[in-house]
Amino acid sequence: MITFVIVDDYPFFRLGLKEYLCQNQNFKIVGEAGTGLEGIALAQTLKPDIVIMDVDMPGTNGIEATNVILKSNPEIKVIALSRFDNEDEIMEMLKAGSKGLLLKSGEMDELLHAIDKVMGNEEF
């Protein structure tokens, strides 16, 4: 069973992602958060296998949240989601420790591929 925390400031997006992932019997959503600070707290408490992290959120953004999460829990894998193909943002997420980065405009199957890769200790 692969456990997830979803962190995104759009509730509708979180719901869609949750519904999609829950179709797989090997996936379990253990928490969801609407802010970077909530995501940090959930990740530190629940210690999921993967945090799916929105990069661009008000307040504590995904880059900052990823830094904090991975400093205290380096075994957690972070897959970042972004609305924009911004090279600087991508580099900052990779520096923060994200193992994968996907565009929100991409296909949902790309997320499954990213999950497989990061669970195999590869980057996507």
Full-prediction pTM beyond 0.85? yes
Q: Which tens digits make up the pLDDT trace of 96-106?
A: 999 999 998 88
Task: Confirm whether 124 is domain-assigned.
Answer: no
Q: Which domain holds residue 90?
A: 2-119
Tell me the mean pLDDT in the region 86-105: 90
Residue 41 belongs to some domain of the structure: yes
Q: Are 57 and 8 in contact (CB under 8 A)?
A: yes
70-107: b (≥16 Cβ within 10 Å) or e: beeeeebbbbbbbeeeeeebbebbbebbbbbbbeeeee
Looking at residue 108, its pLDDT comes to: 86
- For the cut 80, the answer to whether the pLDDT of residue 85 exceeds it is no
CATH number at residue 79: 3.40.50.2300
Domain assignment present for 11: yes
Residue 89's pLDDT band (cuts 50, 70, 90): confident
Residue 45 counted as domain residue? yes
How do residues 70-81 score in pLDDT, each as one tens digit?
A: 999 999 999 999
Number of domains in the chain: 1
Q: What is the pLDDT of residues 21-62, one digit of tens each?
A: 999 999 999 999 999 999 999 999 999 999 999 999 999 999
pLDDT(87) > 90 = no
Q: Residue 122 is inside which H or E element, if any?
A: none
